[in-house]
Amino acid sequence: MARRDQAHADNVDGPWFVDTRCIGCDVARHWAPSLVDMDSNGRSFIARQPQTSEETAALWRATAACPTQSIGNREAARPPVDVFPFELTSGVYALGHNSPKSFGGHSYLVVRPAGNLMVDSPRYTRGLTEAIDKLGGIEHVLLSHRDEVADADKWGSRYDARVWIHQDDADAAPYATDVTTGDQFVDEGVLSVHIPGHTKGHVAYYVDNRWLFTGDALFWNHRRQELDVTAKQTWYSWKALADSMDSIAGLNVEWVFPAHGKWHHVGEGLYARQMARLGPAMHELGQHEWSRRTHTPFVWDA
């Protein structure tokens, strides 16, 4: 629950507020970008109180997604209805309930006739389990890498689901049932693609030849309006990450769904054009200079 006694000094007057326990993960600004702004340290505050039911719903989603539970409403303790899972496009749901164990990473549920996929892990909560039950449960838990494990063991256990991770990050999920060593099909139409860089064992999941779940490797930078990578948080190898971007540039992708950064309906044409430039630009500019570009998430003073 948000701490009223720690409310950010820049919150505008009104019932909604953010406290200073915010870790600058950007999650609230993904859900309510016109209402939530940030200070020079990347911490969120309420810049404008909601005026419509749609804006109020957006702030409730930000509240439920916030990993530090730093967003509050002085007039209501909880939303009037469940706000997650939230359908982003037909068959793909954002799960919210972002975990502090993964620095607030997003996670998703893909509803498929052959069995549902959970991509990366949200917090394990009773309300979310009940909602996922209604959507058909989980057949596979797909972990992009070690940083997004969170409560994957609990989700796998509840649904007796297969849990997937690459061997180079597998020590983070010793309970995994399936450990990949390269590109490998999880199920028909579901491909695990090894894209090292952020970590050595990072993978993306390419689903039904249109959706790409990218973990912490690739995201839509809504401030720069382009596909982007996080230079400062590339733990394993910048060169490997640039090569990985080249390796996935030829995929037909309609949507990109990251763990960190914003999801986006890019469309096949824009994806192809931007990805053709991304890897070469990363090689040319280098990791240090990339992190110094303006509007680089998680390097808020750049």
pLDDT for 286: 97
Q: What token pair was written down for 141?
A: 């838990």
Query: ∠ CA 237-228-46 to the nearest 5 degrees?
Result: 120
pLDDT over threshold 70, residue 226: yes
With pLDDT > 70 as the criterion, what percentage of the chain qualifies?
99
Please answer whether residues 16 and 57 qualify as being in contact, where contact means their C-beta atoms are separated by less than 8 angstroms: no
Percent of the chain that is helix, strand, coil (3-state, to 5) = 30, 25, 50
Answer yes or no: are the C-beta atoms of 295 and 34 closer than 8 Å.
no
Tell the CATH superfamily of the 86-291 domain. Answer: Ribonuclease Z/Hydroxyacylglutathione hydrolase-like (3.60.15.10)
Q: In the structure, what pLDDT confidence band is assigned to residue 199 with cuts at 50, 70 and 90?
A: very high
Where exactly are the structural domains of the chain?
4-73, 86-291
Q: How confident is the model at residue 2 (pLDDT cuts 50, 70, 90)?
A: confident
Write down the pTM of the prediction. Answer: 0.96
CA separation for the pair 30, 51 (Å, rounded): 18
What does 45-73 look like in DSSP terms, one character per residue? EESS---SHHHHHHHHHHHHH-TT--EEE
pLDDT in tens, 76-106: 988 877 899 999 999 999 999 999 999 999 9
Q: What does the block give as tokens for 86? A: 């939230």
* pLDDT band, residue 299 (cuts 50/70/90): low
In this prediction, what percent of the chain has a pLDDT beyond 90? 91
Domains 4-73 and 86-291 share a fold: no
Instruction: Please give the CATH number for the structural domain made up of 4-73.
Output: 3.30.70.20
**Mean pLDDT (whole number) for 21-46:** 93
